[in-house]
Amino acid sequence: MPDTRAHPARPRRILPLTALALVAAALLCMAVTGCGSASVPQPSVTGTTPPQVRAWTGIMVVRKTGDVLWSKSPDRELPPASLTKIMTALLTLEHVKDLDEWAVVPQIPLPQKVGVGLVPGDRITVREALYALLLQSANDAALTLASHVAGSEPKFVVLMNRRAKQLGLLHTHFTNARGTADPQLFSTARDLATLARYAMRKATFRQIVSTRDHVVHYPPDAAVPVHNHNRLLQEYAWADGIKTGSNAASGKVLAASGKPGAVALIVITMHQRTRPEEVEDAVNLFLWGTAEYLRRAAVPASPSGSAIP
């Protein structure tokens, strides 16, 4: 887990451009794992020009500060698909103090396409439901958590939209806790980056979304293996979350967190055509963003001593 604690301010040094280029090149080399493997996209980052991103919209921010390093139509409203579950998890963590308490699966029809086999009346701990939600993207876990926190999914949606306003998500509206396609369910890359940054402040959230594999247990004897769908987490040691999503309306969507070098970053891409393109674009953004952060850090501080933009 990257160290995001604040450190005492140090005098800013200006790196020579040649040294800076060497640092950036070293970061690119160290960050990519599995070189030579056809399954791992190779970076195509050069110079100061941002990489070409094929997603309809996207944004990259410094995780700690929210400073924007790159964006592409970041305020365009699009379906967030299962990135909706970031808010579902955040609200659960904010409302439930004991994650080992039992949540009862509600007496309503449960979606079977994506889930961990829960049926009405089953019991599962909130903690295990969160693993199912964030790794497997389990819709039955989403409905169970929504019901446990608010009494029903519609009541939970009220909390979701209230929290969105509190967080300043100006172009986000929720209609369910799962991300199921709905014309009135939408968000933006900028809003999702803000939401992801806030969720990553929660230690339990960070722990879960950085987990590659888990076995979800619930009575009487269920043991359901779940696998994190985030390919960055599977293929790059510096990646530490967060969530993927996909449906016919949204295309492929990604909220990713990682620290390839000097700084932890969050990348959001929305409506990508394929997962391989999504992974390749995200890796290129992470590596370019790391070098760009170093380039900005090498610029002399203004007389007012303002922070890096």
Q: What percent of the chain has pLDDT over 90?
A: 77
Taking only the tens place, the pLDDT of each residue in 187-200 is: 999 999 999 999 99
pLDDT given for residue 48 in this prediction: 79
Taking only the tens place, the pLDDT of each residue in 208-264 is: 999 999 999 999 999 999 999 999 999 999 999 999 999 999 999 999 999 999 999
Tokens for 98?
A: 């004991």
Mention every residue, 6+ apart, whose C-beta is less than 8 A from residue 205. 89, 90, 93, 134, 199
pLDDT given for residue 299 in this prediction: 67
pLDDT given for residue 56 in this prediction: 98
Tokens for 35?
A: 């070189």
Taking only the tens place, the pLDDT of each residue in 35-82 is: 333 344 444 455 678 999 999 999 999 999 999 999 999 999 999 999
- Cα angle 94, 103, 173 (rounded to 5 degrees) comes to 50
What domains can be seen in the chain, in order of their start residue? 50-297 (3.40.710.10)
Taking the C-alpha atoms of residue 88 and residue 194, their distance in angstroms, rounded to an integer, is: 15
R_g (Cα) of the chain, nearest Å:
20
pLDDT given for residue 47 in this prediction: 62
Taking the C-alpha atoms of residue 52 and residue 106, their distance in angstroms, rounded to an integer, is: 45
Beta strand 251-258 with 68-72 is unpaired
pLDDT given for residue 45 in this prediction: 52
Taking the C-alpha atoms of residue 89 and residue 146, their distance in angstroms, rounded to an integer, is: 9
Taking only the tens place, the pLDDT of each residue in 127-146 is: 999 999 999 999 999 999 99
Q: What mean pLDDT comes out for the span 170-190?
A: 97
Taking the C-alpha atoms of residue 146 and residue 283, their distance in angstroms, rounded to an integer, is: 33
Please, which pLDDT band fits residue 300 given cuts at 50, 70 and 90?
A: low
